[in-house]
Amino acid sequence: MPSSKSPVVVTCTAPVNIAVIKYWGKRDEELILPLNSSLSVTLHQDQLRTTTTAAISKDFSEDRVWLNGREEDVEQPRLQACLREIRRLARKRRSTGDEDPRTPSLSDRVHVASVNNFPTAAGLASSAAGFACLAYTLARVYGVEGDLSEVARRGSGSACRSLYGGFVEWQMGQRADGKDSVAQQVAPESHWPQLRVLILVVSAEQKPVGSTAGMQTSVQTSALLKFRAEALVPAHIVEMARCIQEQDFPGFAELTMKDSNQFHATCLDTFPPISYLNDTSRRIMQLVHRFNAYHGQTKVAYTFDAGPNAVIFTLDDTMAEFVAVVRHVFPPEVNGDKFLKGLPVTPVPVSDELKATLAMEPVPGGVQYIIATQVGPGPQVLDDPDAHLLGPDGLPKPKPAA
């Protein structure tokens, strides 16, 4: 047993995920149960990840949480829901006699510190990686095993999909208590090694409406959302899973773009309307369609969440040419070296014929930078004690390790 001076400390990382069939709308706000199933691709943590440390000690007088070095209000309802849920699961495990004698007492308080390795300014949904990491780390520190969908979901719906690597479906479930509203892997990260992901970070002109508030208004006002959830998404989920299983890129790409467009159509059908896309987002869409038309096949797909950034899917043999085309249409405004982050991409020229087909006037600075990445694994435990974000006193270390 640990002495009262040494807290039990665990550090884990979790990935970002991007939905190719979107979740938009809840049937239960409290339990965070969705109106439709959704399907996502887990991005590689070499490029984008959240790191979370949880420490438990008898010496702590209260639960405390730090995000990117700043202390947060631990009373936030969603944070409280995750803590309650994990302690409930831990209690259940103990009552069934599966207890590991080294696990800390449930009455001990927890300190949690979490950092993202990507700038919040990038406008990427960090809550999915953040709550998945919280659920996974708390489970490790409290000795809880099994599916953690419910814990992560109570933090943010899309977070349950970040509990697994590869390709993941969040099944909406049927039960009122949400026990069957869980994430499940459709295919592992090794399944489609050629798939590549480019995040095009676009300058936002305005602060977008958050997803939680946005989808609430959509549920209340959009008839299109209801129709989409009931009549269209079920078949799209089946078709998307088939495209992934068969590595059918054109099928995967077309359905991804159509689903993104349909999600943004439901946002416009919301009253008052919500628009997440800006002029640059629409130019990227045009660029993708013209690029595909030039090649006579669907080689690139876009998808957009609750903001103007584009997420592009393509295959390894097309990535360099598409990056060159993005550079051509959106010439980097300041430092050309910092335009491309993540996976290395060999510079290639854009042919005059392709430039002529695109027929797009360059917009300098429209895309701030690109992050090149690929499909990746689910959450990981970091064994190196240097990775801990909390020191032996249970307070954030002066310099975060991630």
- Distances 23 to 34, 54, 96 between C-alpha atoms, Å: 7, 29, 35
Which amino acid is it at 74?
Answer: V
Give the residue with the Cβ less far from ligand DP6, 13 or 211: 211
| C-alpha–C-alpha distance, residues 167 and 46, integer Å | 17
Which amino acid is it at 65?
Answer: V
CB of 177 to ligand DP6, least distance (A): 17
Q: In 17-165, which residue ranges form alpha helices assigned H by DSSP?
A: 77-95, 127-142, 149-155
CB of 313 to ligand DP6, least distance (A): 15
- Give the burial class of 162: count Cβ atoms within 10 A of its Cβ; 0-12 exposed, 13-18 middle, 19 or more buried: buried
Interaction with ligand DP6 in 25-54: which residues (CB under 6 A)? 32, 38
Which of residues 9, 22, 165, 311 is near ligand DP6 by CB under 6 A? Answer: 22
By the 8 A CB rule, do 84 and 134 touch? no
CB of 240 to ligand DP6, least distance (A): 13
11 in contact with ligand DP6 (CB under 6 A): no
Among 24, 35, 21, CA closest to 215: 24
Give the residue with the Cβ less far from ligand DP6, 212 or 261: 212
Contact range with ligand DP6 by CB under 6 A, out of 20-28, 312-320, 359-367, 392-400: 20-28
Contact range with ligand DP6 by CB under 6 A, out of 16-24, 46-54, 319-327, 342-350: 16-24
217 in contact with ligand DP6 (CB under 6 A): no
Give the residue with the Cβ less far from ligand DP6, 162 or 368: 162
19 in contact with ligand DP6 (CB under 6 A): yes
Which of residues 169, 259, 305, 321 is near ligand DP6 by CB under 6 A? Answer: 305
Which amino acid is it at 117?
Answer: N
Interaction with ligand DP6 in 126-185: which residues (CB under 6 A)? 127, 156-158
| C-alpha–C-alpha distance, residues 174 and 233, integer Å | 15
Q: Find the helix or strand (DSSP H, E) in which 113 lies.
A: strand 109-116
By the 8 A CB rule, do 36 and 229 touch? yes
Report cis status (omega within 30 of 0) of the bond before 272: yes
Kindly list the residues in this chain that would bind ligand DP6 in the complex (CB under 6 A).
19, 22-24, 32, 38, 125, 127, 156-158, 211-212, 305-306
